[in-house]
Amino acid sequence: MVIPPFIAKMFANKGGEIVSDVLGGLDNLFTTKEEKLQKQIELTEKVNAHLLAMSQLAQQETDAYLKDMDSARQMQIAALNQHDLFSKRFIYYFTIGLTFLTLLYDYLFFFIQYPERNHDIINMTAGVLNTGCLVSIINFFYGSSKSSEKKQEAIENMAKR
């Protein structure tokens, strides 16, 4: 899961507040300004190292997601280079079948009365078909939304910093 920039900023700002809160308690533990300053530097370094590690983990997760998406696209390119007509068109047949199944399932809600005890499972199945199938098909063929691209750019900029 990718960490949105506003959450990363929120935690980054909280890091400074945590350091300030801890330093307030350090006044009682250390008698000299040098000891307090040294502990402040150490604590700030640890908070910054933690924030850097978290942003690196977020970047690794994003890279794994993009690698997975790329492998699906590479699979499609390899299928299109084959001479077998069914292999070339399989993804399109599969997409048409899933789309038809999902729309048929949704359409039948208007005409079939189902028992109340099956209400939850029928709604869950509709949710899986609508969000899992249709959204995945759209993302596969058209890519994700522009806002996802903006989020990705913001995460990459944050990782560079």
What tens digit of pLDDT does each residue of 4-38 get? 555 555 555 555 566 565 555 555 566 677 887 88
Cβ partners under 8 Å of residue 3, min gap 6: 54, 55, 58, 155
Q: How far apart are CA 161 and CA 157, in angstroms?
A: 6
State the chain's mean pLDDT as an integer.
Answer: 77
DSSP label at 144? S
Q: How far apart are CA 124 and CA 130, in angstroms?
A: 10
Q: How far apart are CA 73 and CA 83, in angstroms?
A: 18
pLDDT at 138 over 50: yes
Domain residues for 109? 5-160
Contact between residue 53 and residue 64 where contact means Cβ atoms under 8 Å apart: no
Number of structural domains found in the chain: 1
Percent of the chain with pLDDT over 90: 11
Closest by alpha carbon to 78, among 60, 90, 68, 67?
Answer: 90
